[in-house]
Amino acid sequence: MKTLMVFDFDHTVVDDNSDTWVKRCLPDQNLPNSLTSSYREGHWTEFMGRVMNYIGDQEVGPDRVRSVLETIPFTGGMMDLLSFISEHKSTIDCIVISDSNTMFIDWILQAAGVQTAVDQVFTNPARLNELGYMEIQHYHSHDCARCPVNLCKKNVLEVYLSEKSNGGVEYERIFYVGDGRNDFCPATCLRGNDVVMPRRGYTLEKLLKRQTDEAPLRARVAAWSSGSDILKELTASLRP
């Protein structure tokens, strides 16, 4: 039986938000107030579509966007963790579930040379349209009231585990590593043998501390500050 590592991306794998990092490709590195004030709670993907349209209107091409995204820093110790996972693919599967988009994540992982660590990325599909502007779509639709309209990470994880089980793959232990509000929902579907790892000082840790009877948690909680903390938990679980 294998181990499954599940990662959020922004403020987890990388030490910032790739969606907000992208504004650095603009000449003044800022978005107009009329654009930033257009965000509605739970509708981040639509907002990012407007951001990328604005960036395209400023004649900033995809090559410039990519070069800027490739400079986003990885969280401390994360490169060593991903390298370890790459070296142990026979016993460790690794997926990313993120509310970013396919192009940003692929560019960042490839530039760092760690894409071999990640087996699958579940995130909002992105493509370049005929003008060379990036367009972002919802990952899926769902009926979870707790999550943003475009992505329920619990739904994604449950479908992934079901498909793996149907293919004969069962996981001895799942590690779920994240930081944000939308990482709480998938934590509630973990089993007693699993581990949810919230980043210290971030929203997920606070939510886990005040969990309610409506969303009981079975998994063990182990907070982390760096990839080294996660690697210690992982290697300890792999010992006979």
Candidates 129, 142, 133, 225; CA nearest to 186 is 142
Q: What is the DSSP letter of 53?
A: H
Candidates 54, 82, 57, 52; CA nearest to 69 is 52
Distance of CA 214 to the CA centre of its chain: 25
Active-site annotation holds for 179: no
Task: Choose the catalytic residue: 10, 99, 179, 194.
Answer: 10
Which residues are CB-contacts of 119 (< 8 A; sequence separation ≥ 6)? 93, 94, 95
Active-site annotation holds for 8: yes
d(CA 238, CA 35): 48
Q: Which residues are catalytic?
A: 8, 10
